[in-house]
Chain A
């Protein structure tokens, strides 16, 4: 099964953009790339997902490399409320719909 690799932690200043990287070099052609985040003491929250093209929504942007072996979640202006653990997850054809969470990236936002 394809795996994802993310930095353990990152730090950002408030009001600045944040680029959270994810490597998935063994991704298959039909795997979707999902991003979720988990704020302290809360359930995970869907952020964005994509297949091949870059995606934008009200929360974030997802930039997917042309070879799909990596992707970047972009928060355009970080706020203190964005401090969370961010998970990059691939959905596998044989895995059905279950989400396989890794350790994620702990994002700290400084005021």
Chain B
């Protein structure tokens, strides 16, 4: 059973460009979470999605960031007009059911560098 897959693993963008990060959850998982880890800082929750629905986006920056999890295909985290402060590791996690006692399985992350 393949784990959570993220691509690309490394992404370099110039300031002002768009970054698209993809996440394929584990087979059978319909809940996806995105977290960000800034350099030398802890992991911060960004958004929680179910198929075609955003459930909790309380951690998403108000501008330039968006996320989707369509009926078919991977979840996408999109960052428009990237700035240097967006340079970070972005992790996706998935879980099989929406309950507080269930574990989340994390992908290897996408490391975004903005030049």
- A residues with a Cβ closer than 8 A to B are 30-32, 34, 38, 42-46, 49, 51, 91-93, 96-104
Q: Which residues of A contact B101 (CB under 8 A)?
A: 32, 49, 51, 91
Whole-angstrom distance between the Cβ of A60 and the nearest chain B Cβ: 13
A97 lies within 8 A of B31 (CB): yes
Residue of A42, A43, A97, A101 touching B100 (CB-CB under 8 A): A97
A97 lies within 8 A of B103 (CB): no
Q: Which residues of B contact A44 (CB under 8 A)?
A: 43, 91, 93, 106
**20 contacting pairs across A/B (C-beta < 8 A):** A31-B100, A32-B101, A34-B103, A42-B108, A42-B109, A43-B93, A43-B106, A43-B108, A43-B109, A44-B43, A44-B106, A45-B106, A93-B100, A97-B48, A97-B102, A98-B33, A98-B48, A99-B35, A99-B93, A101-B43
Complex: how many Å from CA A67 to CA B7?
44
Query: B59 — nearest CB in chain A belongs to which residue?
Result: A98
Q: Which residues of A contact B87 (CB under 8 A)?
A: none
Size of B's binding interface in residues, CB under 8 A: 28
Q: Which residues of B contact A32 (CB under 8 A)?
A: 100-101
B100 lies within 8 A of A99 (CB): no
A100 lies within 8 A of B91 (CB): no
Whole-angstrom distance between the Cβ of B54 and the nearest chain A Cβ: 12
Whole-angstrom distance between the Cβ of A68 and the nearest chain B Cβ: 14
B42 at the interface (CB under 8 A from A): yes
Complex: how many Å from CA A38 to CA B109?
12
B84 at the interface (CB under 8 A from A): no
Query: A96 — nearest CB in chain B belongs to which residue?
Result: B56
Whole-angstrom distance between the Cβ of A7 and the nearest chain B Cβ: 16
Q: Which residues of A contact B107 (CB under 8 A)?
A: 43
